[in-house]
Copies of this chain bind each other. A is one copy, B any other.
């Protein structure tokens, strides 16, 4: 269950001690959940005393917010970077492949992103919700374009958008490295999503 978060992902977090706290928090939140994780646990994963956490972050919730915000931005970036195909079919396959692979590759971060929203303060939740809407819109646009040019047959557009997203998101819940590599999973899911909507 425990997976050490790739530290390279958090290179932008400075100084190094703040980054160690943050990656420790990602692992702990992903393993046990936000509420079951103590500040003492996070600090000891970073090799520090509990009080050191408050030198770098004002609260445990703020640590969660930094993780959640960065995670949401990274997920949206992955989608936008992948939306380069010429046809709706290519675009959908590429989006689903990238989004799924990201949830597998970064399943610890993804778990925090997808399952700890309820622990965010209302203000922080609102900020993150904006990014979530953008993620959803990215998928919906491709489906809309595919319906318009006849390559997709979709009767319930919002429902199908949600289903496609949902398929990838749930990867964060069950994925462990022994289930296969993220790239292969991404290709399988691209295929499944394409078949779900093809005309």
Contact = CB atoms under 8 A, between A and B. Distances in A.
A41 to B, nearest CB: 13
A166 B174 contact: yes
Contacts of A198: 195
Contact of A167 (B114, B170, B185): B170
A64 to B, nearest CB: 13
Nearest to A198: B195
Interface residues of A, number: 31
Contact of A196 (B33, B114, B192): B192
A169 interface: yes
A160 B35 contact: no
Interface of A: 31-33, 35-36, 114-115, 118-119, 155-156, 159-160, 162-163, 166-167, 169-171, 173-174, 180, 185, 188-189, 192, 195-198
14 contacts: A31-B118, A32-B118, A33-B33, A115-B115, A156-B188, A159-B185, A160-B188, A163-B188, A163-B189, A166-B173, A166-B174, A167-B170, A170-B173, A195-B197
Given A35-B35, A159-B180, A160-B192, 4 more contacts: A166-B173, A166-B174, A167-B170, A196-B196
